[in-house]
Structures are given as C-alpha cells and as structure tokens.
Structure 1
C-alpha cells in the first residue's frame, strides 16, 4: 500500500465505500521503471487493466500508446486524443466495428489467426501474434502463450501469415508475443523470446518486435528487457512493450468498511465490498495484500467476506488482524488492475466510485473524484 493511512480515511469519509483510490505518484513511478528498463522501446498500455479516462489521459500525456481489445476501448483511446501509431487493436475475434474504427484512426492491427488477413481493411499495418506454446508460471486462466490457449498463430504458421499480409498489400511490421499476466518466473520470457528468434531465418529482418507485457510486480524488469532487446536485435527490429497490470496494480487500493463479524466454522470479517467490486480472488484465486486500518491487541485469523449470496465471495483468507469493529476500514492493496475494470452490477450492485490522490492538486485538495458512484437508476438506465 502506497498511500498514507490518514489520506485513506479522508477519502472514505468524503466519497464513501466501497471505493477505489489511486496514487498518482505510484502510477508515474511504475511508468518510470518500465522506461528505465526498456529504454527507447515504444510503450503501449494494455487498457483492459484499468480503462478510467483520467488515468488514460495521464498516460497519453506521458507519451504512452494504448493496446485495445474491444470497440469500447478503441473509443476510449480516441476520446483521450490517441490516434494512428498510438493505438494497437488486438483480440482473437475482432468485430467489424473494430476493423472499421481502427482503420479510420490509422491503428496497427495485431493479427491473431491466418483467416484474419482477409478481414483487414485495405493497406493495414499489422503485427502477427505468435503463440510460443509454453507452460508458464501463472494461473491457467492468465496463460495466453500456452499450446492450448486461444491466442495467436503457431510458430510454424507465423512466417506464412507474414507473407500473406504482404501479398494482400498490407504492411507486415513484425511479430508479437504475449505469454500471459502476472508471470512469476522471468525465465518464461527468455524461453518465449528464444522461440521467436528461431524464426529469424524464415522471416528475414522485421521492423517491429512487440514483446507484450505480463511481468510480475516484483519481476526483474532489467533482466527481461535485456532478453527482449536481444530478441529484437536478432530481427533488426524496434522493440515495443505492452504493460498493463504492472503500471496500475500497485497504484490502486480498494477501501471497504467492516459491516460486522461472524463465527461459524471459520472467523468471517464481513465487509461492504466483494466479488462485484473485486473479482480476481474468486476468478483466479488471486491474493491481494490486506491492511486493517485500525489498532487492537486481540489479534485473530479472519477471512474477509463480501455481501454477495455466493460462497465464493471472499476477498481474502487467513488474514491475521485485530478484532474487527463495525465501521472500521480495510485496505485491499494491488487492486489498481482488473479491479474496477472487472467490477459488475451483479445483484444490481452499484459500481464503486474512484478517486485519484495527488497532493496539491484539485483546488488544493489531495483527492480528485474520477468516477462517481453509480446509483440503482444508473444500473437499469438502458433497460426497456
């Protein structure tokens, strides 16, 4: 957790809970770490991690492009002023709207299968996504470079797809690889880049090697960057990278209040946030650091449980903390990625507000509201 405890209490009082809060300084620091490691590589933010427009504008102003995987994400990129080479259009099953809007904006398309070559708008710029068929150190649902994954073309298909792009009048910029998210072992990247460089004799020189992202939050970025640069150099290519979770995860915290406690077969600390606000623990078994924002001498082991009528609605298990009291605050850390982005209206729950912490800004206030809390009427506004 990067934010001062007093600031977290202030935000909860001002905006209510559940509440997502973001530390602008940590967001800037994460981008600085990426640029320090990867040097002149072009940086594209994988928008699906957190698409809040205020954060996108901040990244756009810093010269970061956007990797988009839906029509809505392309619209967000355009809304914050991105166009042309600042936009990548990715995804295994792109819609007609994505092709049309991407072409209008001059975006680069990441081709995910051979048949897609015939679907591209005329004279497109494209990369070919390669699946290196690796078992990697992450949850199965996050492993996008495994042989059984739906993503990318095989190593054997890649040279043929590059040639098909050229034959169809497109600009075949090069290759793309992304093996997953929250990768724990840096050697997984070494293996992926190594498999791509095996294609050098078949592809010849390329303009771009996009090394994706997926680095664990504690990854040796400089080591990964050395391997990525070596792979790009083998092709004579410019290096591109696509960090998502790495840029925003540690910048974000989910604040939730204690509703009460319950002792059955386990000790439950009941809070006002759950799977509708933070799905990752239920979806991936993800573990987030939990900080109780109160003191006490009576320490016990607690599960943090949300309000949904679902047995899996648990934000954390086996947390050592003082006896919870109604109204006390709990901070769920590393929640800036795939937290608010995956929040839902299941049970007609209103998605939480979001606020940005940047001391000395916002009319002298440390906090700026960057998404208002939904009302029930917002939730059903599109229903007829």
Structure 2
C-alpha cells in the first residue's frame, strides 16, 4: 500500500486527476496467481491496463499477453513479446489483426465457425466455447451468457476443431472466459464442468485456456483446483488470462475536491469523473473512496465529476469528513479499466500516470494537453 504521505506528494508533483500504481501490489498479485495455479501459463489480458511500463514489467516476469485489437498487438510487439507469448482474441478480428498476429506468430482464439476460413495459413488456434451460463456479475461483463456475442456453442466445438485441422491449422485446444469481476466461485465450477463434458467429443487436447474474470477477493486456490481438474480430463496444459485481478488493487485514482453542493443530496464535486473512470457509470462498479485529510466523517456524500452528465458519479453514499476545496481523495481498485477506458470527451486531456516502487515515483504517462487531444484533426480554415 502506498503511504498517504507519498500519495499527497504525488498529487502535488504531478497534479490531479492522477493515476498511481503500487509496484509491490503488482508483483504480489502475480505471485498470488502463480501460487494458486502452479505451472499454468499466465497471459495478461492487456485491455485492463496497457501502459507500456506495466507491460514491460510483466514481460520481464515471463507473462504473456492476450490482445484484442491491432493496437494491443502492436504494444505486445513494442515490449518484445511474440510467438507463444501472444494470444489474439476478439469476436470480429480485422484483416490487419490477423496479419499482425501472424507476423508475431501468435495463437488465435477462434470465436466463430466462419473464422476458420479467415485465419492466416498454418495458424495455431484455440476454440472459444460459450457455456451459456448465468453468472454473478453485471450483464455487460457476462461474456459466457447464452445471449452474449462471444464463442461457439458446445455443440459446435467438434465441427470447428475438425474444420481447423482440415484447413491445415494447429487446433491446440479450447478456451473459455465467462466474464469479469465475477463474485461467485460456483460460476467457474459450472463453466469448467461444461468444458469437461466435451472430452468425449474432442479427445485429449494440448491446451485448456480457462480465461480470467476472478473478482479481486476470489478464492483463487479453489478456482485453480477445479481448473486443473478440468485440464487433466483432457490431458492438457492449463493456461489462464487474468486482467483486472493483476492490476486493479495496484491502481489508485487521485482527485481533488472542487467544492460541495447540497440539493436533494450532498455532492462532493471533484476534478475527476467519468472521463477518467468510466466503470461506475458503465457497470455500476463500486470503488472504495478514502479521504486523505483528517476529521471525523459526519456526513454522507455522492462524489460527482465535472461532466455535464447526471451519471457522472464516482461513488454514492460515501461517509467523509467535511471537505474543503483542494482536499485529496483516493479512489481505490482503479488500476484496471480506469486509465485504459479514460476518454477525451469534452476535450478533457487524459490524466498522467505514475509508478511507486517503494522508494520513488516515476512518471509513466505524461498528462495530455488540449493540443494533444486535437492533434489528429485536420483543421480546414474558412470552410
């Protein structure tokens, strides 16, 4: 945990809004995954946070990358990843993404039967299975539900595997990912059991990739035991793809109070909002909020951002001491899908990012300027 004094110092040095990351927690999260899953191959779901400095740390630690866009494949290449260290996923891969993945020698995760004919010649592939389960997370995060756009049905799996072999591809195994921020370990048990039922139709496989999606408080050893049991049914090596789990707790969004407003509710207005942290508005996500000033919590506040949107709230019903303009708040568990989903809506430059290594701060992303925001626009004067 980054000491309070260092959070205050970072905000003074780099300004706010500001994302900060704790290197010790990044390392600890990876160690927890490896302790639970043993010799399973770990791939980081890059969409959670693609900062190049964080990716280089993971690459140095032997972690591979799961990429879902040409830009993410380019980031993997930038940090030196390739071959078995890269997975290319997604339900609607582009020609450019197939080409970029092939150039790196990546393994493709086949999301639909028609994709077999789109793969580059001689590709390595896994088949993504949709187990059609109702799981304990927000609907927008439930990727293994029957109504989601991801994967093939269990009944389609044998045909897709056969088609891959007939087309000259290396069908290495199966993949499943049922969602993100899943609270109930039984959801994973059900998914792994659904996969194991396919063994009679697939025979042994080289790889079983069970994705990620575990909540930050998940029982990893329990989930890992069941994942290994499913892999053993197929005689397969186990692969996992944590994203949020590896980076969420390491990240904190620092934001300053701008003022207060008492109407039908008490609002604490801050310089960060939906453009910096979209998850509360998009998923109803709840992030812990800590006051970095002293005092007794006497009132309950809604922490509201500066956008002209009623949904621009970072948190509701937070007990805080009486705030003053400039007071600093820490929004926790913000290392995943925080900076990566930040936007320039309202021409708000995206925030800076800094890494604390236990000794000193390192700036790992500079704060954008308004000029950065419109740099790609072609300004036609007098039109």
The answer to whether the superposition gives a TM-score over 0.5 is: yes
Within 5 A, what are the aligned runs for 1:318-333? 318-333=317-332
Within 5 A, what are the aligned runs for 1:28-39? 28-39=27-38
Within 5 A, what are the aligned runs for 1:275-290? 275-290=274-289
Tell me, in whole angstroms, the C-alpha distance in 2 between the residues paired with 1:125 and 1:102. Answer: 11
The Cα shift of 1:296 comes to 1.7
**Which of 364, 374, 379 is the aligned partner of 1:380?**
374
Aligned twin of 1:306: 305
Aligned twin of 1:149: 148
Distance 1:209 1:298, change over 3 A: closer
Aligned twin of 2:11: 12
Aligned twin of 1:220: 219
Tell me, in whole angstroms, the C-alpha distance in 2 between the residues paired with 1:40 and 1:266. Answer: 51
The Cα shift of 1:115 comes to 0.1
Aligned twin of 2:132: 133
1:368 matches 2:362: yes
Aligned twin of 1:363: none
Within 5 A, what are the aligned runs for 1:1-384? 2-297=1-296, 299-360=298-359, 366-384=360-378
Deviation per residue, 1:235-261 (Å, 9 max, x gap): 000000000000000000000000000
The Cα shift of 1:188 comes to 0.3
CA contact (8 A) 2:24 2:358 kept: no
Deviation per residue, 1:255-278 (Å, 9 max, x gap): 000000000000000000000000
The Cα shift of 1:313 comes to 0.3
Tell me, in whole angstroms, the C-alpha distance in 1 between the residues paired with 2:103 and 2:337. Answer: 29
The Cα shift of 1:196 comes to 0.5
Aligned residues: 378
Tell me, in whole angstroms, the C-alpha distance in 2 between the residues paired with 1:162 and 1:16. Answer: 53
Tell me, in whole angstroms, the C-alpha distance in 1 between the residues paired with 2:169 and 2:235. Answer: 20
CA contact (8 A) 2:301 2:316 kept: yes
Structure 2 residue runs of 5 or longer lacking an equivalent are 379-383
The Cα shift of 1:62 comes to 0.1
Tell me, in whole angstroms, the C-alpha distance in 1 between the residues paired with 2:297 and 2:249. Answer: 29
Partner secondary structure for residue 246 of structure 2: helix
Partner secondary structure for residue 253 of structure 1: strand
Partner secondary structure for residue 179 of structure 2: coil
Tell me, in whole angstroms, the C-alpha distance in 1 between the residues paired with 2:15 and 2:39. Answer: 42
The Cα shift of 1:297 comes to 3.4
The Cα shift of 1:359 comes to 2.5
Tell me, in whole angstroms, the C-alpha distance in 2 between the residues paired with 1:304 and 1:47. Answer: 29
RMSD, aligned α-carbons: 0.5
Structure 1 residue runs of 5 or longer lacking an equivalent are 361-365
| Deviation beyond 2 Å, 4+ runs, structure 1 | none
Partner secondary structure for residue 214 of structure 1: coil
The Cα shift of 1:295 comes to 1.1
Partner secondary structure for residue 156 of structure 1: helix
Tell me, in whole angstroms, the C-alpha distance in 2 between the residues paired with 1:306 and 1:105. Answer: 41
Tell me, in whole angstroms, the C-alpha distance in 1 between the residues paired with 2:215 and 2:188. Answer: 11
Partner secondary structure for residue 172 of structure 1: strand
Partner secondary structure for residue 320 of structure 1: strand
Tell me, in whole angstroms, the C-alpha distance in 2 between the residues paired with 1:359 and 1:235. Answer: 43
Tell me, in whole angstroms, the C-alpha distance in 1 between the residues paired with 2:297 and 2:325. Answer: 15
Aligned twin of 2:381: none
Partner secondary structure for residue 20 of structure 2: strand
CA contact (8 A) 2:109 2:126 kept: yes
